[in-house]
Chains A and B, each alone.
Chain A
Amino acid sequence: MRPDELGDGQVMTMTLEAFADTIVPGEKRWPGDRAVAGAAEGGGAVAAGALQLLEMPEGGLDQALDDLARMLNDHAEKYRAGHGLPQDESVPPLVALDFANRTALVQELTAPDHPEKGQWVGLAMFCNMAFDTGAHSHTTDAIKSGHVGLTMMGFAQPDDDGLWRFPDYSYRRPLARLHPGTTANGSLA
């Protein structure tokens, strides 16, 4: 099943990139990029560092990535055959699926009744985390280098010492009536 011209490492990387790109989609990195489907503007989980995050020993998935990629491709091949889709042997089976079909497959794998749900939800969460937090690098560095997720979300800049402070934080006026049962200590009776 593995395309002959790709090494094991490339198959794994492209497969995990395709999975990550399904979770937080992004624009193609170059014309003809196959792993990133180009389903959304701007960078997605792959540009945000999903592969770097997955490969960090701290996360605990690093030793399992080749197995996870192999299983993803097995599922993708079954999905392709089951849906009568044409075979494309130039890329790993998950990468060969278009974005809509990758999405449908990931929905199946993460559905409440899927026996492998736990591991695919876990893998998805690492991809989310890469985009929403940039957890493979220090947050101050991620912001300095324009991390695609934190930038898109509008995560604020820290102070010069790398810490966050918001001196303006309150409307500073009463905005609702208090519960009539409020006691002197601020709680209800």
Chain B
Amino acid sequence: MTAVESTDVLVIGSGFGGAIAAYHLAAGGARVTVLERGPWLAAEEFDHDFKFGSSSTRIFDFLVGDGMSLLGGNCVGGGSVVYFAAMPRAPGFVFNRQGSIGRRMWPTAITRDALEPWYDRVAEALPISMADWNTATYAGGLWAAACDRAGRTANPVPAAIDDALCTNCNWMMSGCRFDAKRSLLLNYLPAALAHGAEIRPLHEVQRITRTSDGGYRVHYDTVHEVDYRIHPDSGTIDAKIIVIAAGAGATPVILQRSEADLGPMPHAVGRYFSGNGERLNTAYLNEDKVAELLGLSRGDGLAYAASQIGKGPTVASWDRLDGSLPEYERYSLEQLYFPPGLGTILAQVPDATGPTWFGVEKKEILKRWRSWLTIFTMVEDDNEGVFGTPPPTGNSARLSQQFLGFSNLRYRPTENTLRGWALSDAEVREILEKDGLARVMPWTNEPVGAYTVHPLASCRVGDDPATSALDDRHELRGHPGIFVTDGSAVPGALTVNPAFTIAALAERAMPGIVQAARERGIDVRYGAPAPDGSTSARQAAQTAAARLARA
């Protein structure tokens, strides 16, 4: 008979929510085990390759739901490995949103001001760089110039990218070959390992049960390193504290599956899912007009023709991020790159006489792919998503060996969300179609519904037990000792890229989680510096941390 494995703190998932927890708890002296469903890759394994089986499918999941598809990381480092590293802070008005519940959806304790020291801790840890016009790509510059000509402002977007190392290869969704993207593989995770944390890749948590001593038992399957549909083995680990950070598409599914053993889950588990109000438009630029109207030149006879060049989003227009506007009418418009495949299939043909997303006319617009510009809009959606009955394992029924599966998420956009999308579509068109600069079409929602690269809110914080799953310390209501620190904890759409806010919330949750661990007899202290030893942000957050560690 094998001994039951045990640890102090079991962390599910190794993205922002998991890595930050693993680091602080391990640095503070706790025994920490991280179970990560995906594989563990390093820079030299991040391929510039679309082939099935390369890193682009090994570390990325595309889950088709009913009305909403989810795109996200599936590897050690989670979303930070596959994301574009755009790191704006959420504007202040976001924290006063009411959404569908008729009251402020964020906990009273969390405002933009209250979150500021935690943003600063993350900024120091990764670190995050100020962007400027020298790092804005051709696509970002083009978007800025078009915004300017249409009377809008535009900003280079802060990013967690080391520009000295970046080659602007635009393969960052396959992982960064050059370690220019400051993913969690370069900061929190190695620091957690140095403090003794253990990370087990290819371990997919299925459910959680209780132990007789008031702790929890986590049940996992191991996952085949090539064919993720195969689970060769299974096991359990006991822990006193559980931190769930499996991502907003998976965290609620684990909890739903655990309900039979753990007892009733808060109503908000698996409800109020937000796709961050995301939507894409593709502009087909007229190169002559780019030169004539915007005065742009690459210096080699080309005005633009640079869709392939860059590092995801570099410039956004934030004019509509105005707290005096009504809720659901505020959004950002951000230049973006999606690689062929994901970035081309759902693009539609302007003025099509036949099908808009396949066929003869679609092939014609692909010929001009280098002159495409993708604009990503993030509106305030209405938390419409609901997770149905969990699949037998994981959070999807996997079709392919890697990458592609079917989720149990159902999403039907309300009139509020549809209006936000319509307003933002119209504004993108107004900016880019002015004087014949481009033709613009939104991506079609018909084949796979809406889509999000930033799933949120499926297990959210709040003050109201009826509409939130977590209290303002991220503890799962009715299940002491279980904390959730990933994107599912964010109450709603943020109108900007959410990674920075997810990470700041995780940092903010740490003093409370450490305190809870101490109350369960774990010898752990809060107060680790940034992963590289920097201490200025820690000092600045000291008072807030003490308040959060209240017994």
Give A contacts to B, CB under 8 Å.
22-25, 39-40, 44, 53, 56-61, 103, 106-107, 110-112, 117-118, 121-122, 124-125, 128-129, 131-140, 142, 149-150, 152-156, 158, 162-182, 185-189
Mask of B361-373 contacts with A, CB within 8 angstroms, 1/0: 0110011011000
Expressed in whole angstroms, the Cα–Cα distance for A175 and B156 within the complex equals 10
Chain A residues with Cβ below 8 Å from B296 are: 171
Question: B88 touching A187 by the CB < 8 A rule?
Answer: yes
B interface with A by C-beta (< 8 Å)? 48-54, 57, 64, 88-89, 91-92, 112, 119, 123, 130-131, 133-138, 140-141, 144-145, 147-148, 152-158, 167-171, 177, 229, 296, 298-300, 305-306, 308-310, 315, 317-319, 321, 339-341, 344-345, 354-355, 358-360, 362-363, 366-367, 369-370, 398-402, 404, 406, 446-448, 496
Q: In the complex, which residues of chain A have a beta carbon less than 8 angstroms from the beta carbon of B123?
A: 185
Q: Are A58 and B358 in contact (CB under 8 A)?
A: no
Q: Do residues B318 and A179 form an inter-chain contact, with CB atoms below 8 A?
A: yes
Report the separation of the CA atoms of residues A39 and B496 in the bound assembly, to the nearest whole angstrom. Answer: 43
Contacts of B309 in A (CB 8 A): 156, 166, 168-169
B169 near A149 with CB under 8 A, answer no
CA distance A163 to B44 in the complex (A): 11
A58-B53, A111-B446, A153-B366 given; A169·B168 CB < 8 A? yes
Docked-complex contact B133 and A172, CB < 8 angstroms: yes
Instruction: Give chain B residues whose Cβ lies under 8 Å from the Cβ of A189.
Output: 91-92, 112
Residues of B within 8 A of A154 (CB): 305, 308, 369-370
Counted as pairs of residues, one from A and one from B, with CB atoms less than 8 Å apart, the total is: 221
Pick the 9 closest A-B CB pairs, nearest first.
Answer: A176-B154, A176-B148, A133-B50, A187-B89, A165-B167, A175-B144, A58-B52, A186-B158, A153-B369
Chain B residue nearest to A178 (CB atoms) is B155
B353 to chain A, nearest CB (A): 11
Min Cβ gap A77→B in Å is: 22
Interface of B is mostly: loop
CB contact under 8 A between A125 and B89, given known A25-B359, A186-B156? no
Can you give 30 contacting A-B residue pairs, CB < 8 Å?
A24-B362, A24-B363, A56-B52, A58-B401, A106-B355, A110-B447, A112-B446, A124-B447, A132-B341, A133-B341, A137-B51, A139-B48, A150-B340, A153-B340, A153-B370, A156-B309, A162-B48, A164-B169, A168-B298, A171-B141, A176-B152, A178-B155, A179-B154, A180-B153, A185-B119, A185-B123, A186-B130, A186-B155, A186-B157, A188-B88
Chain B residues whose CB sits within 8 angstroms of the CB of A152 once the complex forms: 366-367
Contacts of A185 in B (CB 8 A): 89, 119, 123, 130, 158
Main secondary structure of the interface of A (DSSP, over half): loop
Contact partner, A175, options B51, B145, B362, Cβ 8 Å = B145
The distance from the CB of A166 to the nearest CB of chain B, in whole angstroms, is: 4
* Contact between chains at B167 and A182 (CB < 8 Å): no
Q: How far is the CA of A134 from the CA of B112 in the complex (A)?
A: 45
CB neighbours (8 Å) of B177 from chain A are 163
By beta carbon, the residue of chain B nearest A26 is: B363
